[in-house]
Chain A
Amino acid sequence: MRVRAALAVVILGGWLVAAPAVADEAPISGAVKAVDAAASTVTLESTAKGKTRTVVVHLKPGAKVVKFTRATEPGKTGFVEQPLSLADLKPGWIVSVETKHEGGKEVADLVKVVLER
């Protein structure tokens, strides 16, 4: 009985702790400062909670860079994703990325262009 109780504590404790850790897939938005297509990195200047930081985001192999354009197909009025290459990103553009912290790096597999300017 006590073993079962202990197991329940382990499972519950693990779940309670792991749940917020999953939420650490943090969205970041910011202005592109630099793009290194060879190294598959994009450097962003991002501000959150009063702090402005420079974040180097490492893109995973096969990561997508997309922007949103109006659908051109008849009858469709919404937005569609238009794929870009990493090299298409320009300094000053505003992008958002969902990053994960892996191996001491911020990694992402999708970069969304918010504004080209």
Chain B
Amino acid sequence: MKTTCKLMLLIAALAAFAVWSVRPPLGLADPKNGEPHEEEKGAHAHVPAPLSYADAHMPVEAWTDAALIARGKEIYAAKCAVCHGDSGDGKGPAGAALPLKPPDLRDRHAIDEMRDNYWFWRVSEGGAEEPFKSKGSAMPPWKGDLSMQDRWAVIAYQHTFSGHKGPHVPWEHPEMVQVGRDIFAMACIQCHGAAGKGDGSVGATLSPRRAPQPRDLTAEQFKFRSTPSGQLPTTADLVRTVTEGVRGAGGPLTLGLRGYRIMPSFRHMPIEQRLELIEYVKSLNRAFWSRTRIETVAVPAPPPVTPERVARGKQLYADAECLACHGERGRGDGASAPTLKDSRELPIVATDLTQPNRFKNGSSPEDVYRTLMTGLAGTPMPSYGDSLEPDQAWDLVYYVLSIGGGRPAAAARP
């Protein structure tokens, strides 16, 4: 009897081996390591939109614009419903056959977490970009077929499937910036305060009773921008600030911040986390959702440094009255320096140009060019974007950097 039992078990083992051996070797359908099938997970992934789409915030009123939604419905029925389904359930006849199923747009929880710039990126680029490409997304890119307005229209219509009636913005759906808010609470709140108003308990002690103070992130004045004077920064500008930190003379409590930084560098933080953080920072200022177009000040390729350029720059330094604040030798000891105040009426020091490693907005020729052409909002440093031609600006850049010990020749790219 024992022999019969062993024989049966052997037959069972052989049968099992035989069945496994005819499995397709492609590994398309077999869940590995206990992971669910891709189609079960859907195409939704919480990743920040890349910088090229990070500023694509949908105008707030567009979400509830009946005419735009009606236009979006037409486009959706013609181009999207075959996969996403007429009701947005992701079960259109073509979508149902895909290995990676379209998301259920009626899933209010998932939609609430989806930022507008992410949505616009997904509709524009489809599955051609990572991480969706590797997942096998069949979503086509629509940027070539649909205008920006039409893509917004489709998104506004898709949003109606979620059942939410108001605008799809972070102050309606805090879930969409939850990750960034958590990072802010750990890394930024000490200086910028719980509400981002720059009133954190530590911030004021960095340079007591004088500028610079931590930025009020809810205000419209941001110092470090590539945008013209008076405008909000781009997301890339904010990434640069968070990545590089803010250099300066600082106060006694900044000694531990490497390189005389009044704000530390967060270069060590993964870029995805920096982007999440910045999405939260932007959510503190609704003006990011009201700008219709974004201009940036182009930084042309730096010309070669010549003695003539530096000489012309020295003349401009006097003509543009830079010496009134920065002083004749650039030490920040000009005649007006003692009276300078920032927008909070706090005394502010004119930058010592002999110490380029402490330039708040960076000390590369491109950084100094950008500072000259955009100014530093909230400080007495004006923008020269309207008064200097690019070539003149380069002359001045090279003179300013020459004050600090001839760095421009090493930094400039001929």
Contact = CB atoms under 8 A, between A and B. Distances in A.
A21 B19 contact: yes
A50 interface: yes
B53 to A, nearest CB: 22
B269 interface: no
B24 A101 contact: yes
A114 interface: yes
B28 A2 contact: no
Contact of A96 (B12, B29, B133, B138): B138
A75 interface: no
Contact of B99 (A2, A48, A70, A77): A48
Interface of A: 2-3, 5-7, 9-10, 13-14, 16-18, 20-21, 23-30, 46-51, 53, 55, 68, 70, 77-79, 81, 94, 96, 98-101, 106, 112-115, 117
Contacts of B125: none
B16 to A, nearest CB: 4
A86 B316 CA distance: 72
A6 B8 contact: yes
Interface in B4-45: 4-5, 8-9, 11-13, 15-16, 19-20, 22-30, 38-39
Interface stretch (B89-97, B164-172, B233-241, B305-313): B89-97
Contacts of A6: 4-5, 8-9
Contacts of A77: 86
11 contacts: A13-B15, A14-B15, A17-B20, A27-B39, A27-B99, A28-B28, A49-B135, A79-B81, A96-B97, A98-B97, A117-B140
B140 to A, nearest CB: 5
Contacts of B82: 68, 79, 114
B98 interface: yes
B2 to A, nearest CB: 8
A10 B8 CA distance: 7
B19 A17 contact: yes
B176 to A, nearest CB: 27
Chain B interface residue number, banded? 35 or more
User: Top 6 closest A-B pairs, CB basis?
Assistant: A101-B24, A6-B8, A26-B28, A26-B29, A50-B134, A48-B136
Contact of A26 (B1, B26, B94): B26
B8 A96 contact: no
B94 A68 contact: yes
Nearest to A97: B97
A14 B24 contact: no
Given A29-B100, A98-B97, A101-B23, A115 B140 contact: yes
Contacts of B278: none
A14 B12 CA distance: 7
B177 interface: no
B83 interface: yes
Contacts of B11: 10
B100 A24 contact: no
Most buried by A among B13, B94, B95: B94
Given A6-B9, A26-B26, A114-B83, 17 more contacts: A10-B15, A21-B19, A24-B24, A24-B29, A28-B28, A28-B99, A47-B133, A47-B134, A47-B135, A49-B27, A49-B38, A68-B82, A68-B93, A78-B86, A96-B98, A96-B99, A106-B24
